A and B are shown apart, each in its own frame.
Chain A
Amino acid sequence: MSELSNEQLLDIDYYLRLTRTLEERLVALFRQAKVIGGLYRSLGQEGESVAAAYALDYKQGDVVQPLIRNIGAILVAGAKPADIIKQYMAKGDGPTRGRELNIHFGHPARDGFIGQISMLGDMIPVMAGIALAGRMQKRKLVTLAFIGDGGSSTGAFWEGMNFASVQKLPMVVIVENNGYAYSTPTSKQTAARTLADKSYAFGCAGVTIDGNDVLGVYDTTKRAIENARSGGGVTLIEVMTFRMKGHAEHDNQAYVPKELIAEWAEKDAVVRFENLLVERGVATREQLDAIQQRVKKEVDDATDEADRSPMPDPAHAGKGLFIEDGYWG
């Protein structure tokens, strides 16, 4: 079962549980009107998010770029739950100090991750540039970018992929085919047979895999990363998964057939992964419960910390437009 040690497998389970528990907490905070703005769930997609990000080597300087639903990926990269909650609550001592929302934060050279901006597709050329710099600086780092089925329709995606492929940059791109972009089904997003087929246009490697198979995602991503690290260029990995909730909390996803949701509920990546761990004797249910207890405590503590945090000082609104202002220290 993969090259992963038992310890690593349990580590992955920890991140899966942490992602789900943290998001459930964000839902509770949203209902209490403490989360300001939208809440975009990753329920159903935690498996690929965590597994792909787990395949990077952050000590080498690898960088992951999440979409709004890849909260699991940045937790793996080292983001703190309290920071994420502070971002959602628009607090003044969160990573962006209340200027930008949710998981749009991070510095590629410091944190091992860089959040997206809202303009879908824009991060693909940026991740190509991070990979380019790594190569120019004679480092062996690899970048891992997430993009949605919807985001892969943007011009920025196409330019970034083309450039990265021409340059044979050390970049891996996970295209999350989660069925819908907002209300638009993937069939209205592309006429390509699969999203991995887009790789033909770029001349990079492309593959479609089961996104709810945690170990499969890990293995495929790991191979693509090592290939990229050794100069083999870009791989586009389409992961088949499903967005189990609406686009955001306000959306009841009435446009999604109920049977489809029921079908994918059966394929839940976390349940599937944990069953495997138990079947293969990697962990007992009691051990998994203990992980959940640990995660709950961490999320409780993070919530307390975020709750106690101050809102930003309005007097700071005009500061920091330029780096030399010194606002960020």
Chain B
Amino acid sequence: MPETTYIDAITQAMSEEMARDERVFLIGEDVGAYGGAFKTSYGLLDKFGAERVIDTPISEIAIIGAASGAALMGMRPIAEMQFLDFITCGYDILVNFAAMNSYLFGRACPIVVRGPAGGGTHGGPYHSINPEAMFLNRPGLKIVAPGTAYDAKGLLKAAIRDDNPVLYIEHKYLYRRIKENLPDDDYIVPIGKANVRRRGKDLTIITWGAMLYVADDAADELAKDNVSTEIIDLRSIVPFDEDAILESVAKTNRVIILHEAPLTGGAGAEFAARIAEKAFDYLDAPIKRIAALDVPTPYSPPLEAAALPDKTRVLQAARELLAY
């Protein structure tokens, strides 16, 4: 297959799943004739018709709520947020209705809520969100955050086939910036499994989403000093691959958790706590977290760059750990 961009991988996953299973449908703002604000659903209306590619009013509560109702009836809706920032407008119905169906009532509510997230595009505070932490503490929702085209496709397929509500966080910075050769066959990437992106023995970086590439750059730089870095691409935040984390820490004894969301109360705090609880004896140095400043993502490029994590900060943390 020719090289596929991250965004095309998402389109392909939706298209193939809609072709495979007629219960799958897409609902959101401007997803039909326009093909989505980022053209993620481009062509789907022509292929599957307006009954399965539904343009909605600007009503996130209706989008997530209606998707949930349909899911209880056996449908497999994909609910698009035009930007994932707007999920806050439908937060209540997602965490209180969709996410509680299994635990409280024994009902399957297989919806996927997906949309563009993340910073680095000068979108400002309302178009740059990394929302995982505000769902992490609301049990009942699976959360995935692919950082490669391969995972974007495989995780979306897995999310659509999953019997639970899944929040699928796509990083808009990656949409057209990365390309990969994808397999021709129908594959899925299982939810809950991390990927060891790079093997190393001196230091582990645990990360996901667009921060993979910051980790790569840092690891390349460290390699020049003969430091071998292991990069764990978590891919799933809920459930997360605790074994992969602990195994890597047991091997390298030094760990950095890197994420694009703000530091305090970020998902990294949970992973750090888990490592401290379960792998304390393996640690040769404190656990380091590199994350955004505790501020809304500012718009102006110099401020945004200062607020979001970058290679320099990762390298500084790595050198501190190695010298510890």
Are A and B physically bound partners?
Answer: yes
Q: Which residues of B contact A188 (CB under 8 A)?
A: 55, 57
Given the interface pairs A36-B301, A181-B58, A317-B306, the reply to whether A101 lies near B124 with Cβ below 8 Å is yes
Residue A283 at the chain B interface, CB threshold 8 Å: no
Picked from A91, A313, A317, the residue with its CB within 8 Å of the CB of B295 is: A317
Cβ B124 vs Cβ A119 within 8 A: no
Minimal Cβ-Cβ distance residue in B for A319: B295
Picked from B30, B37, B126, B298, the residue with its CB within 8 Å of the CB of A119 is: B126
Residue A155 at the chain B interface, CB threshold 8 Å: yes
Query: What CA separation (Å) do A11 and B15 show in the bound complex?
Result: 55
Query: What CA separation (Å) do A7 and B221 show in the bound complex?
Result: 67
Residue B322 at the chain A interface, CB threshold 8 Å: no
Query: Residue-by-residue, is B140-183 near A (CB-CB < 8 Å gives 1, otherwise 0)?
Result: 00000000000000000000000000000000000000000000
- How many A-B contacts if CB must be within 8 Å? 116
Residue B2 at the chain A interface, CB threshold 8 Å: no
Cβ B299 vs Cβ A101 within 8 A: yes
Residue B125 at the chain A interface, CB threshold 8 Å: yes
Query: What CA separation (Å) do A118 and B89 show in the bound complex?
Result: 11
Q: Which residues of A contact B82 (CB under 8 A)?
A: 182
Task: Tell me the minimal C-beta distance from A174 to chain B in angstroms.
Answer: 17
Residue A151 at the chain B interface, CB threshold 8 Å: yes
Cβ A314 vs Cβ B33 within 8 A: no
Residue A99 at the chain B interface, CB threshold 8 Å: yes
Q: Which residues of A contact B55 (CB under 8 A)?
A: 184, 188
Q: Which residues of A contact B123 (CB under 8 A)?
A: 37
Query: What CA separation (Å) do A36 and B123 show in the bound complex?
Result: 9
Residues from 128 to 166 in A contacting B, C-beta threshold 8 Å: 150-151, 153-156
Residue B302 at the chain A interface, CB threshold 8 Å: yes
Residues from 19 to 49 in B contacting A, C-beta threshold 8 Å: 29-30, 33-34, 37
Query: Residue-by-residue, is A86-121 near B (CB-CB < 8 Å gives 1, otherwise 0)?
Result: 000011100011111100000000000000011111
Cβ B307 vs Cβ A100 within 8 A: no
Given the interface pairs A119-B86, A119-B88, A184-B55, the reply to whether A312 lies near B124 with Cβ below 8 Å is no
Task: Tell me the minimal C-beta distance from A146 to chain B in angstroms.
Answer: 15
Residue B300 at the chain A interface, CB threshold 8 Å: yes
Q: Which residues of A contact B59 (CB under 8 A)?
A: 153-155
Q: Which residues of B contact A90 (CB under 8 A)?
A: 122, 299-301
Task: Tell me the minimal C-beta distance from B118 to chain A in angstroms.
Answer: 15
Residue A318 at the chain B interface, CB threshold 8 Å: yes
Query: What CA separation (Å) do A313 and B305 show in the bound complex?
Result: 11
Cβ B34 vs Cβ A255 within 8 A: yes
Picked from A92, A155, A313, the residue with its CB within 8 Å of the CB of B89 is: A155
Minimal Cβ-Cβ distance residue in A for B308: A317
Cβ A153 vs Cβ B300 within 8 A: no
Query: What CA separation (Å) do A101 and B298 show in the bound complex?
Result: 9
Interface centre among A119, A190, A317, A318 (most CB of B within 10 A): A317
Cβ B58 vs Cβ A37 within 8 A: no
Residue B95 at the chain A interface, CB threshold 8 Å: no
Residues from 104 to 149 in B contacting A, C-beta threshold 8 Å: 122-127
Query: What CA separation (Å) do A155 and B58 show in the bound complex?
Result: 9
Q: Which residues of A contact B57 (CB under 8 A)?
A: 150, 153, 181, 184, 188-190
Residues from 280 to 323 in B contacting A, C-beta threshold 8 Å: 293-296, 298-307
Q: Which residues of A contact B125 (CB under 8 A)?
A: 99-100
Task: Tell me the minimal C-beta distance from A328 to chain B in angstroms.
Answer: 14
Cβ A98 vs Cβ B302 within 8 A: yes
A-B CB proximity, top 10 nearest: A98-B300, A118-B126, A183-B34, A153-B57, A90-B300, A314-B306, A317-B306, A150-B58, A99-B298, A314-B302
- Would you mind naming 16 contact pairs between A and B with Cβ atoms under 8 Å apart? A37-B122, A98-B303, A101-B124, A119-B85, A120-B58, A155-B89, A182-B82, A189-B58, A190-B57, A311-B300, A311-B301, A312-B300, A312-B303, A313-B302, A317-B306, A318-B295
Told that A118-B127, A150-B58, A311-B300 touch, could you supply 15 new A-B pairs with CB distance under 8 A?
A36-B300, A90-B299, A99-B298, A99-B299, A99-B300, A118-B85, A119-B89, A154-B58, A154-B89, A156-B89, A182-B29, A182-B37, A190-B57, A312-B300, A318-B293
